[in-house]
């Protein structure tokens, strides 16, 4: 039986199908975030007050080692659904299929520069990503305390996530919310 990166062909197919399910699911959230998270706030003043979600900005993602493709896709989609730019470190052990995801995104409707995939030695890539002052948030699946220390130096928000089996989409709104800012605007009404 043919094996791909140490797993059975049927298991690889299941992972790719789950990655597609994640993509379809998170794509469905993109036009619903304003309706679900935005609100008109009641105020006792001659003002109109409303809150709306906005993207955080640039999100660094340290994807899990395994599953390589499904783990990467499941971790980059929540920040993308929120409207952010993603810079992701792919699996060090199995980078090839994850880099093919980049090729797929390159011919899809994803604008150039919105998803940036980095491959190489994680020990060399994590430090500049986690410590970069232009990175507004980090999604860390490694649990490495050094990531939090580096992010603290540049006051970068860190979301930690334990890698799971990723086959189920799960509670997607709680996965998207860490990569949104809720902005409130006051607008005078009347005279």
Q: Between 122 and 161, whose confidence is greater?
A: 122
Query: For 98-113, what is each residue's pLDDT tens digit?
Result: 999 999 998 988 899 9
User: Do 73 and 19 form a contact (C-beta atoms < 8 A)?
Assistant: yes
State the pLDDT confidence band at 1, using cuts at 50, 70 and 90: very low
Lowest model confidence (mean pLDDT) among 44-48, 67-71, 92-96, 175-179: 44-48
Beta bridge partners of 185: 50
State the pLDDT confidence band at 26, using cuts at 50, 70 and 90: very high
pTM of the model: 0.87
Query: For 133-191, what is each residue's pLDDT tens digit?
Result: 999 999 999 888 899 999 998 888 998 888 776 777 777 888 999 999 999 998 888 75
Sign of CA dihedral 14, 20, 21, 26: positive
Contacts of 17 (CB under 8 A, 6+ apart): none
| 138 vs 62: CA distance, rounded Å | 8
Sign of CA dihedral 64, 122, 61, 102: negative
Mean pLDDT on 26-42: 91
Domains and CATH numbers, the chain: 3-188 (3.40.605.10)
Closest CA to 130 of 141, 73, 98: 141
Inter-helix orientation angle 122-131/145-153, to 10°: 30
């Amino acid at each position: 039986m043919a094996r791909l990166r140490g797993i059975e062909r049927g298991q690889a197919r299941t992972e790719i199908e789950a990655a597609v399910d994640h993509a379809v699911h998170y794509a469905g959230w993109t036009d619903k975030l304003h309706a679900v998270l935005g609100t008109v706030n009641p105020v006792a003043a001659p003002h109109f007050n409303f809150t709306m979600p906005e993207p955080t900005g640039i999100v660094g993602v340290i994807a899990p080692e395994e599953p390589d493709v499904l783990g990467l896709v499941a971790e980059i989609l929540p920040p993308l659904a929120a409207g952010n730019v993603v810079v992701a470190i792919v699996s060090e052990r199995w980078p090839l299929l994850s880099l093919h995801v980049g090729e797929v995104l390159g011919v899809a409707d994803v604008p150039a520069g919105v998803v940036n995939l980095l491959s190489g030695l994680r020990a060399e890539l994590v430090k500049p990503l986690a410590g970069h002052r232009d990175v507004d948030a980090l999604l860390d699946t490694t649990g490495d305390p050094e990531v939090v220390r580096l992010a603290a130096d540049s006051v970068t928000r860190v979301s930690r996530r334990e890698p799971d089996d990723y086959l189920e989409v799960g509670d997607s709104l709680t996965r998207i919310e860490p990569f949104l800012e809720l902005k409130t605007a006051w607008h005078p009404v009347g005279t």
